Amino acid sequence: MTSKPKVAFIGTGGTIASIGTGPLDILDYGANETVLHADMLAARVPELALVADVRPVPFRNVPSHHIFFPDWKELVWLCERLATEEPDLAGIVIGHGTASLEETAWFLSLTLKIPLPVVLVGAQRPASALSTDANMNLLNAVRVAASPAARGLGVLAVLNDEIHAAREVTKTSTFRLQTFRSPDFGALGHADGDAVTFYRRPVRKTAPDTEFDVRFLDALPRVDIAYAYTGSDGAAVRAFVDAGARGIVSAGFAPGFPGVADEAVLRDAVAKGVIVVQSTRAGSGRTFAGTRATKNGFLIADNLNPQKARLLLALALTVTSDPAEIRRIFATY
């Protein structure tokens, strides 16, 4: 008899673990203040036992719009401990709220030091809802984490039967089940009823072979995002600099320009030693190192959205403050 693959399941809360007041409570369920821990959520999906030996791992429930570096650092340590203590582990699944799932996935994909597949999963409807997507999403995440084909792809996100790379995936809709998309390149593969299938591999560098090690850091360098809009007068950028920002991501007008007043203040920030990275608010597509950006001393985010560019810049600043090196890092990851 062939044994099933062993998969660890870490729960951090989120919609996938939430219980509303009834089956039609699909929006305001957070007011019920009932969120299941990993063991309780896994118990609601007995079908998990059909595909893997799932081991729930205690953590804590954190609203995803609250999650940040201390939680991410703890998850890095926890994943490493699990990989060390259980050498027969096939993969790890992390349940997560969808609001910041893409940021946690991207951060872990840059900082984990284990070769195991790590899959983030969430849901758009709470576990108690009529036609919830929580159960199937969790089952598929376990299947993907257990798949040998998932190794070497970095951290993955699995929702709505689709497998996405952490670098590329983003939440695109508030309520729709198909909210997670990879705008420029699409999904890596699918978790269908008969098989987990992959059709492409990311080529950018990813965990565990990265130059970032956050396990012994106390905090990340401060990096803020300046969002472009007509009529902006640079006040936000000045406030970020005054608050001690070491880096600023400019979420500019497509294809990647700040407003005129913001541009002048960002240029002054560069003169003060602040690293400015030009991204775009468009939601997809590359920024480019044109004459304007180069003259201002701005680096480019490539096709990273502003929130992901912010995290890569913060991690880059943990290893260097040299603009040329940070330019290399953005071209590498």
Give catalytic residue positions.
15
C-alpha 28, offset from chain centre: 24
Could you tell me the sign of the dihedral formed by the alpha carbons of 199, 87, 138, 315, in that order? Answer: negative
SS3 track for the chain: CCCCCEEEEEECCCHHHECCCCCCCCCCHHHHCCECCHHHHHHCCHHHHHCCEEEEECCCCCCCCCCCHHHHHHHHHHHHHHHHHCCCEEEEEEECCCCCHHHHHHHHHHHCCCCCCEEEECCCCCCCCCCCCHHHHHHHHHHHHHCHHHCCCCCEEEECCEEEECCCCEECCCCCCCCEECCCCCCCEEECCCCEEECCCCCCCCCCCCCCCCCCCCCCCCEEEEECCCCCCCHHHHHHHHCCCCEEEEEEECCCECCHHHHHHHHHHHHCCCEEEEEECCCCCCCCCCHHHHHHCCEECCCCCHHHHHHHHHHHCCCCCCHHHHHHHHHHC
Q: Tokens 């390149």 — which residue? A: 185
